[in-house]
Amino acid sequence: MRRNAWKMRTITPMNASMAKKQNDIDPKSATQARIKRTEAYAERVRTLFAATVNEILALNRSMPQLDEGEMFSFAGESMKRQKEVERLLRQLHAVATMAIEKGIKLEWAQANEECDKLVQSCFGKRALSSPEFSAWTQRNNAAMNAFIARSEKGLNLSQRVWKAVEQLRDEMEVAITVSVGEGESAAQMSRKVRQYLNDPDLMFRRFRYKDPESGEWRRKWKKRIKDPATGKVKWIDYDKRTYQDQWTGRGYYKSSAQNAMRVARTETNIAYRRADNERWQQMDFVLGQRVNLSRSHPKKDICDKLAGDYPVDFVFDGWHPQCFCFVTPILMDEDEMAKVSEAFLRGEKYVPRGKRITDYPDNFKQWVSEHKEDIAQSRDRGTEPYFIRNNAMAIDEILDPSLKKLTPQQIAAKRHEARTPEQEDEIRRRWKERSERIEAEKRHSRQVNATANNVLNAAAKRFASFGISTAELEEAIKSGNTALIQAQTRTLALAMSAKQQLIKATAKKVNSIADGYSEVDTTALNEALASGNLEAIHKQTRALAQSVLAMKKAEQALSAIIPDAHTWHEQFTLAELQQVYAAVESKLANISTLPLYEQVKAIEKEIKWVSDPTYLKPHKQYPTWNVAQDAYMKKLDEVKKQIAVAEAKDTIDKLKVYVASHPKATTVANAVLEAELLLASGGDMLTIKAKIDYAQKRKELQEKAAAQKAVKGSKIGEVTFKELSKKRQKELLDDYKVNTVEGMDDVMRPATEEAWKGLIEEERMLLTKYTQTYSYLNEPLRNMSYCGGRAKDEYDNDMPKITAALSRVKTKQDMVVRRGTSDYYIPEIGKNLSQAEVGDTFIDGAFLSTACHRDKGFGGSVNMIILIPKGAQGIFAEPFTHYNAGYYDYQTRIWNGTEKVGLGGEFEWIGQRGSRFKVIRKSGKNLYLMLIGQQFTQPTGMTK
């Protein structure tokens, strides 16, 4: 009985240990897998064509200029463009051919693997390695190579692929012509050409015409072609069903890529089937083969008519191109299988017996008989289908049963007698063409092999030490595949050329760099370049590069101090530069111990010293003085940057203090944050300064607004204070005797810093001005005539503004101040100051200048010791006074609100004008007073 080899088989030989049970193998699933693989091979070819199209289109960066009716042609482009297009097309031919050949080999191997599974399923795994079964496990590689090398319609595989590549060239020329005619841009043209190549029908047009017979308007298809006579473009009538040219027609696509994909599908499909057929014919247990319909069969056609059981020697490549019908072997019955297995176990050989299929199915015979004339005509044209050509003798015997008794030679002679003279001439012509083509191919093959061997010899002789592999070309030569040999020869030649160019280019580049170093000798490399010896060039290049690298490292070391060391190295030797480096390094080591501002002065002094041989005292000027000057200037820039960074950081820290106490100052906060981040990341100092200046400006504007708001709340008018108790007076005077200057500064300074924030800029300036000059204010306030140089306008402007400022600054605690003065008459009490008695009260209309410590301030015949109650109007002036920091000047620079420059001799507290005093004690020249009021007007008649 016949049994499908793909079904699960259980063999029960006499020895039970041989029993095996194999998994089901679904032939339809295997066919679907093969179809998917076939489509993958075709898709690979399509992507190769698409990639080549993109590369060729990329060469056209502008629109071609064509005259009316002119056809675009790559032959009309520049020679460089022509060569590049030709290179890309030949490259496409090589890689597409190799891709299809790879697919053929993979499918051949896959078919062998499936046949091995068949043998294993019938006779066990050991059968695959047993010599007795070797005839059933042959790989038939010679048959595979013959299959790859075969010709179809006079064209081998390489030529069929080249035909598709030539079609692509013509397609692109037509597509570009059509795109140019539509007025596209270069980019639009590229997109349009790709559309045309994907769907060639887009290059055809429907024209409206009037039927001359009926007078009706109709439409017909036209195709744009190049007139071979004129070279111009013209439209011709086109019938999609019947039109045929050198590329299109029956059995061909309009698309070159689709034609190449068709070759890929057909060749890989046939390879699989041929491999199967070769193996089955070698297997005694295969009695025949069954041709089955594919699951992907949309409608009835020849596949339905010819499905059936065929002899094992029937060569089935498919009923038509891209046919996916599948074939399964028909095996002998189980009894015969068991006998083979038993013989195998005994180490014997058994030739299986079974009814082999030797006759063709009736449906096949009927189809052949019905298409007798078609078969004859196709044979005359040389276009007969594969299954007719591959099984010619069987077809002839079906058409003429008497031929079964004749030998193949007799059958051929009879076929020859039936031919007409014209047919004989045509056969002779084709034979001659075939012979000439074969001879040309042989010459071409010899030339290709000779070129390949020359390239191999060159690689071995000149590139042996450069790691260029020749294995691929050697394998290609062994395969005998001309297209593969050409491709691998070109690949190896290009690799060698690229390596040679790289070696020489590298050598020239290193040589050029070395020319910039007078101490480096380039003689050896120049001699190697002149010799052309690549190994010598490579060796000397590496040696010279090491010398240059050593110089660069030396320059890099010098660059720590000397800027542009390489530029200076072009003028001076390395030894001279190293001497400069050592001298400058030593000098800078001493300078670096100084404060930054003093470092600037010291470096500027060195710059003058090296550049001017007469500076300070006559001295020797070295030839390399410019190098030293550059080194010092580099260091000067670094120190100045350090100073700028330090100042910026200090300002940022102060601004951060302001931001912390003013949470609503978001604009200032953001600018400070940006400046801080830039400073931390080593940003540009100009940008950092701009950020800081902006923050300062915004801070001042906000402070001014706050101060102006505060000015409105200034209390102007007489103020009186509650008298201090006797006990409190004693406590204050006891403290006054023992307190320290530093202790008082620690108490008073924070209050001034806080008060300063609440003053507007003009008030700060006027208080600073008061520490420099006050007579123009105090003398008029005491009803005295002012004889100084300041105009009355200054008094009128400054006095009320200082009054307003001090009215908002109040003492935080009770305290004692002193003031030394000469004796003067007081009309209010009718006595001199020194004669005042305990209990007397009097007014001093001027602003009150005092010292906050017993040892500070000015002397005089009367030492006024004044008790100041908490809440009195006045400010501790020590932080901002001109006489403590001489650079504080109301016209140039005033205190920034935080800076501390030391403690001066005045240690001044400025009290509000119009002080009202009460005498509480007298002791020698000491007159103890209590401040009991402010902003009182000086009584008339007082003189100092």
Q: Mean per-residue pLDDT for 398-411? A: 72
Burial of 771 (0-12, 13-18, 19+ CB in 10 A): buried
Give the tens place of pLDDT for each residue, 173-202: 777 777 776 656 666 667 767 776 676 666
The whole-number pLDDT of residue 778 equals 94
Higher pLDDT pick, 881 / 1: 881
- Beta strand 926-934 with 862-868 is parallel
Residues 6+ apart with CB under 8 A from 480: 145, 149, 445
Tell me the C-alpha to C-alpha distance, in Å, between residue 891 and each of 762, 766, 882. Answer: 11, 10, 11
**Looking at the predicted structure, is the pLDDT value of residue 14 above 70?**
no
Give the tens place of pLDDT for each residue, 287-332: 899 999 877 777 888 899 999 999 988 998 888 877 778 888 888 8
Higher pLDDT pick, 47 / 426: 47
Q: Tell me the H-state helices in 515-613.
A: 523-531, 534-558, 565-569, 574-591, 596-611
CB contact burial 822-849 (16+ within 10 A = b; e otherwise): eeeebeeeeeebeebeeebebbbbbbbb
Residues 6+ apart with CB under 8 A from 712: none
- Identify any residues that bridge with 849 across adjacent strands, giving them in sequence order: 910
CA 557 to chain centre: 33
Give the tens place of pLDDT for each residue, 603-658: 999 999 999 999 989 999 999 999 999 999 999 999 999 999 999 999 999 888 88
Confidence of residue 215 (pLDDT cuts 50, 70, 90): confident
- Identify any residues that bridge with 841 across adjacent strands, giving them in sequence order: 918
The whole-number pLDDT of residue 657 equals 82
The whole-number pLDDT of residue 134 equals 60
The DSSP output letter for 221 is: E
For residue 491, the surrounding DSSP H or E stretch is: helix 482-514
**Looking at the predicted structure, is the pLDDT value of residue 6 above 70?**
no
The whole-number pLDDT of residue 85 equals 86
For residue 851, the surrounding DSSP H or E stretch is: strand 848-851
Measured over the CA atoms of residue 836, residue 839, residue 843 and residue 848, the dihedral's sign is positive
Q: Mean per-residue pLDDT for 43-50? A: 88
The whole-number pLDDT of residue 912 equals 96
- What domains are defined for the chain? 24-203 (no CATH), 361-418 (no CATH), 559-712 (no CATH), 719-934 (3.90.176.10)
Q: Mean per-residue pLDDT for 868-894? A: 90
Q: Could you give the CA distance from residue 196 to residue 192 in angstroms, rounded to a whole number?
A: 6
Confidence of residue 693 (pLDDT cuts 50, 70, 90): very high
* 8 A C-beta contact, residue 845 and residue 937: yes
Give the tens place of pLDDT for each residue, 730-787: 999 999 999 999 999 999 999 999 999 988 888 999 999 999 999 999 999 999 988 8
How big, in percent rounded to 5, are the helix, strand and coil portions of the chain? 55, 10, 30
Angle at 242 between CA 239 and CA 245, to 5 degrees: 95
* 8 A C-beta contact, residue 905 and residue 741: no
In 293-339, at which residue ranges do the beta strands (DSSP E only) sit? 308-310, 326-331
The percentage of the chain sitting over the pLDDT mark of 70, rounded to a whole number, equals: 83
Q: Could you give the CA distance from residue 260 to residue 49 in angstroms, rounded to a whole number?
A: 9
Q: Could you give the CA distance from residue 278 to residue 140 in angstroms, rounded to a whole number?
A: 7
**Looking at the predicted structure, is the pLDDT value of residue 437 above 90?**
no
The whole-number pLDDT of residue 309 equals 93
User: What is the end-to-end Cα distance of the chain in Å, rounded?
Assistant: 150
Give the tens place of pLDDT for each residue, 702-713: 877 776 776 666
CB contact burial 214-250 (16+ within 10 A = b; e otherwise): eeeeeeebebbebeeeeeebeeeebeeeeeeeebbee
**Looking at the predicted structure, is the pLDDT value of residue 39 above 50?**
yes
Q: Tell me the residue type at 546.
A: Q
The percentage of the chain sitting over the pLDDT mark of 90, rounded to a whole number, equals: 36
